[in-house]
Chains A and B, each alone.
Chain A
Amino acid sequence: MIMEERRAFGVLLTIVVVFAIAPLIAILIYTFTKEGQFDFSQFSRMFAHERLWQTLGNSIGLGIFVIIGTTIIAFPMAFIRTKTSLNKHEWLDIILTIPFMTPPYIGSMGWILFMQHNGFLQQLVPGAAWLTDSFFSLFGMVMIMSLHLFPFLYLMLRNTLLRIKGSFLDAALIFGRNPWRNWIKVVLPLILSSYVLGSLLIFIKTLAEFGTPATFGSRIGFQVFTTEIHSYLSRWPVDISMATSLSLFLLSVCLVIWYFQNLIGRKFTYGVLSGKSPAKRKVTDKWYVRVASWTFVGIVLLLSIGIPYFSIIVTSLQKVRGDGLHAGNFSLASYQEVFTGGSAGLTAFLNSIVFSIITAIITAIVGLLIALYIKKGETKKQQVLDFFSLMPNIIPGIVFVVGLIMFWNAPWLPATIYNTKAMVVVTYCVLFLPYSVQYIKSSFSQLDASIFQSAAIFGRSNWDIYRRIILPLLMQGILTGMMMTFIISMRELVAGLLILPPSVETGATFIYSQFEQGNVGVGMAVAVITVFMTVIFMFLLDWLQRRGGQANA
């Protein structure tokens, strides 16, 4: 080890505790004390509000509907991609993750621009005006969020379906009486546990989501936890204790769900998966299966990528929004405005890039140290650190943001980073450390123990072993983690809204405020640039992982 074992643990634990645990403790202290005394009244005050129950109902209802929505999209998609002739089109998978990687607020802005009065739909098909009213409702919100989140569930289901031991299905083919019964009695029970886990994660992600409720939900007066917390902190009259109480409540709901998820995960997981995916059989479908499959894929791609991307691209190119879609109404003026030196859009965008790069570098270093310490998580200490560093995955981002604000505003701190740009980077690091840890851990777990043993025997010094053997082998995981961190830092909205120092903006907050103020052209130009950068990074990531896969094989 570079550092002595115990000291390493101390240092890493201090980092994680100060940056990730302290904010949560700050929320607890702020909620339950008043002038140094224990005080429950602030927390109980929350329950007296009629609005809390409505918020709770809205959030949970939304979560359930989004589970249903993502299931409707992800389930057939996973089936089509594994059981029909579409199973050979690997490129579909990377296309299908684009909606998930698209910042959710940009997706919903696209939908709003498309569906609103005088939106693109009414310009293209004037007869469809009646759709507008029915779209601006809970239905539309569930649809937008489902279209954003379905890739997550889809990939989980697809991987399970692919890796179910081939012989389970072969045995069903031989002994079963009809295909439907085989599905219901054999295949569905075998993928059930992975479906339940996936849908609970969808539920947590829906509860934690801010972008769509903030853009679309605010138009239909549908408040959820995240938007309520945001408005208590940012609208007059500011009510911090309500915000922390709500954060605590949201945190508890997520922890309860996470507990159930673990329970189910342990109870219903059989050894159904084989290590490798069974050899693909060439599938020949009936023509109507093929037509139906492609139609379904086409509709999903149209709704999840086509419409939102069409809306934001066209809006960014329009001269006058009211003038509609005709040849004379297009120009690059918005982009020119963005790329003029010193423009608000460009400054905001560059801020985002700087914050994201710094975040990516810091999380990569800290993540690497943590991953090297955790190794395979065999000792108690390693598991503790593993749990703490992955905690931000379960806890909604906004809760951390509120906690960080509370913590860095504490009066006893001798110095604070609050209201500086460093605060933004610290917040991003706390929120996105788990990604880096997870990617590095997973490439670490692929290394065989013999690599370390042979390194220990042949290596000249510990430092040499790390520099020449371990680091190069982990490089792919480190790079993947950094890119992923960069992508999600670029799109982070709620942290920026709450903690950015005055007069500093990021790309995300710029897009959001431009949209709210109705100045959509420039905002959408920045959105288009962000989105295309994300897509390019995704293809780079895919390429990196493919290359890594070949190198390991």
Chain B
Amino acid sequence: MKISLSNIEKKYGQSQALWPINVELDQQFITILGQSGCGKTTLLKLLAGLEQPTKGEIRFDDTVIYSSASRNNVKPNKRNIAMVFQDFALWPHMTIFQNIAFGLKGIIAKSDIPARVEHVMKLVKMQGFEKRKPGELSGGQQQRVALARALATNPKLILFDEPLSALDAVLREQMQDEIMHLIHELDCQAIFVTHDQTEAMTMSDQIIVMEAGRIAQIGSPEEIYRVPATPYVADFIGKVNWFHNGQSIVRPEGVSRIQRPGTIEKQAKIVKSTFVGDRYLVQAQVEGKAWSFYENQPLEHGKRLQVFIDENQIYQMEG
């Protein structure tokens, strides 16, 4: 499905939460990445229909979902989408079964509901919990149920609003895997909001980086990493070393102490070395800028030495 936004903007009173946005999204797993307050959740809520854009038009394929010009606004429950919330949002007075069945009423025959609930509970590996109430489950289990509820209606698109931020690191990685797996297997699309760049890099086919209510860049994880569109994106995704008066960048893996053909030499003064598990992250001063690169051995503080930049890994920033 192709999701098109044209001139979508959102104001809260006088403050501009989103500046006019024009994008077409057709990848399967799309991430909206940005710091808190950048408008990423607002954008998601506009897509869900929970908030109304101040202006613009949203289409799913050729169907107009929202248009300020023709005053067209399809209700959230008619957009054939589902959503997984940051705080799970399982209704506390209903059992797990009732929570999942709630969205199914009127979509499939009443007699088919138990089978469908069982099916999605199996997908998220939560069989047997149907009679419990949300309060009796752990955070991770609740998020699985929330995912099951989203999958149950066979939506074309599932919206994820920072769904993993309430979980601990181990559980989070496990859920990342399972969500990716399910989305690809079930052949639906996902738009996933996160502030965690690693999460965005590992999960997505397409990343939208947002900054202060504007889209800074759209691209595959590789593009965003190698060819950042703005200094903000370069700094936000991974580590970056600046030189040539802020016109060129190189990632830490493009810097080494070994001289090879096609490298540029720089003078570095070591600040500190930090053990990061498989190697050392070395922080150094190069031309007055803070640099970082990886080494197999720790380097002594205050030591001066030469580092070499692989010319192929240099990217010239525009402007």
Chain A residues with CB under 8 A of B149? 175
B201 within 8 A of A: no
Please, how many residues of chain B have a CB less than 8 angstroms from a CB on the other chain? 30
Q: Please report the C-alpha to C-alpha distance between residue A389 and residue B242 in the assembled complex, in whole angstroms.
A: 67
**Majority secondary structure of chain B interface residues (helix, strand, loop or mixed):** loop
B273 within 8 A of A: no
B121 within 8 A of A: no
- A271 touching B135, Cβ below 8 Å: yes
B298 within 8 A of A: no
Shortest distance from the beta carbon of B41 to any chain A beta carbon, whole Å: 11
Chain B residues with CB under 8 A of A459? none
Shortest distance from the beta carbon of A158 to any chain B beta carbon, whole Å: 20
Contact of B89 among A165, A177, A189, A282 (CB under 8 A): A165
- B77 touching A168, Cβ below 8 Å: no
- B91 touching A174, Cβ below 8 Å: no
Q: Please report the C-alpha to C-alpha distance between residue A168 and residue B153 in the assembled complex, in whole angstroms.
A: 18
Q: Please report the C-alpha to C-alpha distance between residue A312 and residue B176 in the assembled complex, in whole angstroms.
A: 69
Contact of B76 among A168, A174, A190, A282 (CB under 8 A): A174
A458 within 8 A of B: no
B103 within 8 A of A: yes
Chain A residues with CB under 8 A of B86? 167
Additional 13 contacts, C-beta under 8 A, given A270-B92, A270-B135, A272-B92: A165-B89, A167-B86, A167-B88, A170-B48, A171-B83, A172-B102, A173-B77, A174-B82, A175-B77, A175-B153, A176-B102, A190-B91, A270-B93
| B100, closest chain A residue (CB) | A175
- A167 touching B87, Cβ below 8 Å: yes
B288 within 8 A of A: no
| B155, closest chain A residue (CB) | A174
A186 within 8 A of B: yes
Chain A residues with CB under 8 A of B135? 270-271
| B50, closest chain A residue (CB) | A170
Chain B residues with CB under 8 A of A271? 92, 135
Chain B residues with CB under 8 A of A546? none
Q: Which of A167, A172, A173, A272 has the most CB of B within 10 A?
A: A167
Chain B proximity mask over A265-281: 1 for CB below 8 Å, otherwise 0: 00000111000000001
Shortest distance from the beta carbon of A306 to any chain B beta carbon, whole Å: 33
Q: Which of A165, A174, A190 has the most CB of B within 10 A?
A: A174
- Which chain B residues have a beta carbon within 8 Å of chain A's beta carbons? 12, 45, 48-51, 75-77, 81-83, 85-94, 102-103, 105-107, 135, 149, 153
Q: List 12 A-B contacts (CB under 8 A).
A: A170-B48, A170-B50, A173-B50, A174-B49, A174-B103, A175-B77, A175-B102, A176-B77, A177-B105, A185-B102, A186-B102, A270-B92
- A175 touching B51, Cβ below 8 Å: no
Q: Please report the C-alpha to C-alpha distance between residue A214 and residue B49 in the assembled complex, in whole angstroms.
A: 55
Q: Known contacts A165-B87, A270-B135, A281-B51; is A177 also within 8 Å of B106 by CB?
A: yes
- How many interface residues does chain A have, given as a range? 20 to 34
- A190 touching B103, Cβ below 8 Å: no
| A271, closest chain B residue (CB) | B92
Chain B proximity mask over A149-191: 1 for CB below 8 Å, otherwise 0: 0000000000000000101101111111110010001100110
Q: Please report the C-alpha to C-alpha distance between residue A92 and residue B92 in the assembled complex, in whole angstroms.
A: 32
Q: Please report the C-alpha to C-alpha distance between residue A190 and residue B48 in the assembled complex, in whole angstroms.
A: 23
- Which chain A residues have a beta carbon within 8 Å of chain B's beta carbons? 165, 167-168, 170-178, 181, 185-186, 189-190, 270-272, 281-282
- A175 touching B87, Cβ below 8 Å: no
Shortest distance from the beta carbon of B260 to any chain A beta carbon, whole Å: 54
Contact of A173 among B76, B88, B107 (CB under 8 A): B76
- A168 touching B51, Cβ below 8 Å: no
- A176 touching B103, Cβ below 8 Å: yes
Q: Please report the C-alpha to C-alpha distance between residue A537 and residue B187 in the assembled complex, in whole angstroms.
A: 64
Chain A residues with CB under 8 A of B75? 173
Q: Known contacts A176-B77, A176-B102, A185-B102; is A171 also within 8 Å of B89 by CB?
A: yes
Q: Please report the C-alpha to C-alpha distance between residue A176 and residue B149 in the assembled complex, in whole angstroms.
A: 12
Shortest distance from the beta carbon of B14 to any chain A beta carbon, whole Å: 12
- B85 touching A171, Cβ below 8 Å: yes
Q: Please report the C-alpha to C-alpha distance between residue A484 and residue B91 in the assembled complex, in whole angstroms.
A: 38
Chain A residues with CB under 8 A of B83? 170-171, 174
| B98, closest chain A residue (CB) | A185
Shortest distance from the beta carbon of B44 to any chain A beta carbon, whole Å: 11
Q: Please report the C-alpha to C-alpha distance between residue A327 and residue B135 in the assembled complex, in whole angstroms.
A: 67
Q: Please report the C-alpha to C-alpha distance between residue A165 and residue B161 in the assembled complex, in whole angstroms.
A: 15
Chain A residues with CB under 8 A of B94? 185
| A272, closest chain B residue (CB) | B92
- B81 touching A174, Cβ below 8 Å: yes
Q: Please report the C-alpha to C-alpha distance between residue A168 and residue B90 in the assembled complex, in whole angstroms.
A: 7
Shortest distance from the beta carbon of A192 to any chain B beta carbon, whole Å: 8
Shortest distance from the beta carbon of B99 to any chain A beta carbon, whole Å: 9
Chain A residues with CB under 8 A of B77? 173-178
Contact of A171 among B51, B91, B93, B106 (CB under 8 A): B91
- A170 touching B92, Cβ below 8 Å: no
Q: Please report the C-alpha to C-alpha distance between residue A292 and residue B149 in the assembled complex, in whole angstroms.
A: 37
Q: Please report the C-alpha to C-alpha distance between residue A392 and residue B93 in the assembled complex, in whole angstroms.
A: 34
Ranked nearest first, the 5 interchain pairs of A and B with the lowest CB-CB distance are: A175-B103, A270-B92, A167-B89, A171-B89, A167-B85
Chain B residues with CB under 8 A of A177? 77, 105-107
Shortest distance from the beta carbon of A165 to any chain B beta carbon, whole Å: 6
Q: Please report the C-alpha to C-alpha distance between residue A174 and residue B150 in the assembled complex, in whole angstroms.
A: 10
Chain B residues with CB under 8 A of A175? 77, 82, 102-103, 149, 153
Q: Please report the C-alpha to C-alpha distance between residue A190 and residue B76 in the assembled complex, in whole angstroms.
A: 21
Q: Please report the C-alpha to C-alpha distance between residue A462 and residue B260 in the assembled complex, in whole angstroms.
A: 72
Shortest distance from the beta carbon of A535 to any chain B beta carbon, whole Å: 32
| A274, closest chain B residue (CB) | B87
Shortest distance from the beta carbon of A509 to any chain B beta carbon, whole Å: 49
Q: Known contacts A171-B85, A174-B81; is A189 also within 8 Å of B102 by CB?
A: no
Shortest distance from the beta carbon of B152 to any chain A beta carbon, whole Å: 9
Chain B residues with CB under 8 A of A170? 45, 48, 50, 76, 83, 85, 89
Chain B residues with CB under 8 A of A185? 94, 102
Q: Please report the C-alpha to C-alpha distance between residue A449 and residue B48 in the assembled complex, in whole angstroms.
A: 41
Q: Please report the C-alpha to C-alpha distance between residue A190 and residue B75 in the assembled complex, in whole angstroms.
A: 23
Shortest distance from the beta carbon of B250 to any chain A beta carbon, whole Å: 42
